[in-house]
Amino acid sequence: MDRLKGNVAFITGGARGQGRAMALKFASEGADVVICDICSDAETVPYPLSTSADLAETRSRVEALGRRCVAEVADVRSQEQLDRVVERGIDELGHIDIVCASAGVHSFLPFWEMPEEMWQEVIDTNLTGVWHTVKAVAPHMIERGEGAAILTSSVMGKETGPDLAHYAAAKHGVIGLMRSFAFELGPHNIRVNAILPSVVHDKMGDNPATREWVFGRSDATTEDYVAATRNWHVLRGRAALPAAAIADAALFFASAESQHITGTELVVDAGHSILPGFNHTPIHDERIAVGPYPNDGVTVG
Ligand SMILES: NC(=O)c1ccc[n+]([C@@H]2O[C@H](COP(=O)([O-])OP(=O)(O)OC[C@H]3O[C@@H](n4cnc5c(N)ncnc54)[C@H](O)[C@@H]3O)[C@@H](O)[C@H]2O)c1
């Protein structure tokens, strides 16, 4: 398949998970790729991030598909580091046509208990990092008069969840960035769209710390996690989605099939967003007076 023949894609968070799935999908469609990843842990993130071995594995799997790959360690919180990766990518591969901002982290605490550093690490990585990523390639794409940017938000870009105020704020913010970038880059023939995944089965969700947070016990297993994630979805048999499902959506936004589409959100959530809003565990409180209201709540006289 050659849907991206002759293209070069720059992907952050490319060492594993969705970023790796995008690199492999794009390579299998004829693109060369530039990937970067932090390849070390983050201070307030309670699960391990990627390693250099993960980054090297993505590179060798791209090369096994017959495509070229530039792989660099870089932190999306640093504009300087991303600028260097982009410069090297253009030097070695000639140009960049597609940019995917996939790097991201999560952590969890009620917002009133959240230390400043935890808040900042998620905002800096998941929101500011997306700005840095697109900023690093925008001048090059403007000069060439074409390009596609794909920003990974989340269903948390539209809703929220327990202990995720910083994550939800960043992911809502990514949608704001996507619209602003699309507006400013449209006159330069550069398209910008966002993907909103629901639960994806990779190391961000399926790790001991996240499982303990979800289940409230430290012995929850991958099987428990997979079973529980079915409750997120409407489509039959869909537990946490494969990373390749998000890569398929990214391929659509990267390819000519979406050449007239910009400024949009694509929810990849097996129907999560249409689940009815229903409280299974409402809390009864004697102090809160609810009906029956005399006079239908209207004060007479
Ligand atoms: N996993 C899910 O359930 C889920 C759901 C919705 C959205 N997302 C989003 O999808 C994106 C990809 O996550 P994933 O599911 O592939 O998880 P993942 O943890 O497997 O991959 C994320 C990658 O980003 C890298 N990274 C983290 N901080 C970085 C930094 N400062 N600089 C450079 N790289 C950094 C990590 O090392 C890792 O390789 C993230 O933006 C995430 O918020 C994930």
Q: How much is the pLDDT for 287? A: 81
Name the average pLDDT for the chain: 95
pLDDT average, residue stretch 119-145: 98
| CA–CA–CA angle 76, 144, 259 (5° rounding) | 85
Q: Residues 180, 188, 125, 27: what is their CA dihedral angle, to the nearest 10 degrees?
A: 130
Average pLDDT estimate for 154-169: 97
| 294 — pLDDT class (breaks 50, 70, 90) | low
In a domain, 36, yes or no: yes
Q: Which of 36, 59, 200 to mutate to test the pocket of ligand 1 (most atoms within 8 A of CB)?
A: 200
Helix (H, G, I), strand (E, B) or coil at 152: strand
- Identify the pLDDT of residue 292: 61
**230: which residues sit within 8 A by CB, 6+ positions away?**
237, 238, 239
Indicate which atom in ligand 1 lies nearest the CA of residue 155. 6
Question: What pLDDT, on the 0 to 100 scale, is given for residue 298?
Answer: 59
Q: How far is residue 193's CA from residue 182's CA, in Å, rounded to a whole number?
A: 7
Domain-embedded: residue 294: no
293 belongs to the catalytic site: no
**Percent of the chain at pLDDT above 90?**
91
Query: From CA 49, how far away is CA 51, in angstroms rounded?
Result: 7
Q: Indicate the length of the chain as a whole number.
A: 301
Q: In this predicted structure, what is the pLDDT of residue 289?
A: 67
Domain boundaries, position 50: 8-271
**Is the pLDDT assigned to residue 22 strictly greater than 70?**
yes
Does residue 297 surpass a pLDDT of 70? no
In a domain, 95, yes or no: yes
Q: Does 293 score more than 60 pLDDT?
A: no
In a domain, 276, yes or no: no
Q: Is the residue at 2 inside a domain?
A: no
Residue type, 253: F
User: Is a pLDDT exceeding 90 seen at residue 124?
Assistant: yes
Where residue 97 sits, what CATH number does that domain have? Answer: 3.40.50.720
pLDDT digits (tens, 9 = 90+) for 179-208: 999 999 999 999 999 999 999 999 999 999
Give the ligand 1 atom nearest the CA of 103: 24
Q: Is-contact 268 249, C-beta < 8 A? A: yes
The model's confidence at residue 283, banded by pLDDT at 50, 70 and 90, is confident
CA 101 to ligand 1: nearest atom: 41
Range with the lowest mean pLDDT among 11-20, 55-64, 230-239? 230-239
pLDDT for position 280? 74
Q: Is the pLDDT of residue 135 over 90?
A: yes
pLDDT of residue 1: 80
At 300 the pLDDT is 53
Residue with tokens 């769209």: 193
At 111-121, the pLDDT tens digits run: 999 999 999 99
> Does 50 fall in a domain?
yes
pLDDT at 235 > cutoff 90: yes
Domain count, the chain: 1
**Ligand 1 centre from 112 Cα, in Å?**
25
Residues 37-48 have pLDDT tens digits of 999 999 999 999
**21 three-state secondary structure:** helix
Q: What is the pLDDT of residues 69-82, one digit of tens each?
A: 999 999 999 999 99
Between 287 and 67, where is the model more confident?
Answer: 67
Residue 201 lies in a domain: yes
* 291 falls within a domain: no
Residues within a 6 A CB radius of ligand 1: 12-13, 15-19, 37-38, 42, 49-50, 75-77, 102-105, 125-126, 129, 152, 154, 197, 199-200, 202-205
